[in-house]
């Protein structure tokens, strides 16, 4: 075999080896590029599957189901919904998060109201709210006085008090009477006193547990009478006015005012 013949043979062998190598990397089922493309396709399929799962999850969230959820379940659902909405901020996804956020805020407000109402029944649950300095206390006092004056002036003809008492604790009744008479002189509010010794059925009807006990009656725009307990036991003028305003604003629905 001549030198040129050998050269041609070597060239042919090299070409066939290069072709085989290219075929391995590009089309062979064991080739690197085939493996890489397969992995890419697999990731895309998984991504599409996750996207579909996220969409189904977001569609499954209903505001009617929130109240039946446990606290942990709601928190986990809310956290996942936010993650999905951030990564895929469609109008629908963001709306779900907004809906959950509003419901959570409403629950927080309800919690705050119940917290304050519990304080009316048991003021020992919290430390008193005291301004830090003399000027702050003075400004706070005058602001509250103005708010009270405006409130009782507005409701002079549709708001009154009923004080249930027993002569078994005559001293407490007399002390409470002085406080309410002062309120009557200041705001012109009607005060009624009911002796439970003479009308014992009132104890069960209004669930009275001590003496005296104070309620306010509000006659709303529909002509209905709404009763609210202001204080169990002796109450100061500040407690009566403060509790009345709080209950009126937070414990009576707007539609019932």
Question: Both 98 and 145 in a single domain?
Answer: no
Q: Kindly report, residue by residue over 45-87, the tens digit of the pLDDT.
A: 777 777 888 889 888 898 888 888 898 999 999 999 999 999 9
Question: Which domain does 102 fall in, by range?
Answer: 31-108
State the Cα–Cα distance between residues 110 and 148, nearest whole angstrom.
24
Name the average pLDDT for the chain.
Answer: 80
Question: Both 70 and 162 in a single domain?
Answer: no
Q: Kindly report, residue by residue over 186-199, the tens digit of the pLDDT.
A: 999 999 999 999 99
The pLDDT of residue 144: 76
Q: Is residue 1 part of a domain?
A: no
Please say if the pLDDT value at position 137 is more than 80: no
The pLDDT of residue 109: 82
Prediction pTM value? 0.50
The mean-pLDDT minimum among 15-19, 159-163, 186-190, 207-211 falls in 15-19
Domain count for the chain, please give it: 2
Question: Both 152 and 243 in a single domain?
Answer: yes
Q: Is residue 100 part of a domain?
A: yes
The pLDDT of residue 62: 85
Picking from 180, 181, 212, 179, the residue whose alpha carbon sits closest to that of residue 195 is 212
Q: Is residue 113 part of a domain?
A: no
Q: Is residue 67 part of a domain?
A: yes
pLDDT-above-70 percentage for the chain: 73
State the Cα–Cα distance between residues 151 and 244, nearest whole angstrom.
10
Q: What are phi and psi of 226, to 5 degrees?
A: -110, 125
197 contacts 168 by C-beta, under 8 angstroms: yes
Question: Both 91 and 182 in a single domain?
Answer: no
User: pLDDT tier at 146 (50, 70, 90 boundaries)?
Assistant: confident
Interval 110-122 mean pLDDT:
77
Given 68, 89, 108, which residue is the final one in a domain? 108
Question: Both 140 and 231 in a single domain?
Answer: yes
Interval 26-34 mean pLDDT:
52
Please say if the pLDDT value at position 185 is more than 50: yes
Question: Both 175 and 236 in a single domain?
Answer: yes
Two structure tokens written together for 36: 């890489």
Two structure tokens written together for 240: 């009566």
Question: Both 145 and 199 in a single domain?
Answer: yes
Q: Is residue 14 part of a domain?
A: no
Question: Both 55 and 99 in a single domain?
Answer: yes
3-state helix, strand, coil in the chain (%, to 5): 70, 10, 20
Question: Both 155 and 66 in a single domain?
Answer: no
């Amino acid at each position: 075999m001549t030198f040129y013949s050998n050269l041609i043979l070597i060239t042919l062998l090299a070409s066939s080896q290069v072709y085989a190598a290219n075929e391995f990397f590009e089309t062979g089922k064991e080739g690197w590029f085939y493996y890489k493309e397969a992995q890419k396709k697999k990731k895309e399929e998984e991504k599409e599957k996750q996207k579909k799962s996220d969409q189904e999850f977001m569609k499954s969230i209903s505001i009617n189901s929130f109240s039946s959820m446990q606290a942990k379940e709601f928190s986990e659902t809310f956290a996942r919904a936010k993650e999905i909405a951030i990564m895929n901020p469609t109008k629908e996804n963001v709306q779900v998060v907004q809906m959950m956020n509003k419901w959570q805020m409403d629950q927080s407000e309800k919690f705050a109201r119940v917290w304050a109402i519990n304080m009316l029944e048991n003021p020992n649950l919290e430390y008193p709210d005291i301004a830090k300095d003399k000027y702050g206390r003075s400004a706070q006092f005058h602001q509250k006085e103005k708010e009270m004056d405006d409130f009782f002036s507005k409701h002079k003809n549709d708001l009154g008090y009923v004080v249930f008492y027993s002569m078994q604790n005559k001293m407490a009744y007399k002390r409470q009477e002085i406080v309410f008479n002062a309120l009557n002189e200041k705001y012109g509010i009607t005060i009624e006193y009911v002796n439970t010794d003479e009308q014992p059925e009132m104890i069960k009807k209004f669930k009275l547990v001590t003496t005296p006990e104070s309620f306010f009656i509000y006659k709303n725009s529909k002509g209905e009478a709404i009763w609210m307990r202001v204080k169990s036991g002796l109450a100061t003028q500040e407690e009566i006015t403060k509790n009345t305003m709080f209950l009126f604003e937070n414990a009576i629905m707007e539609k019932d005012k």
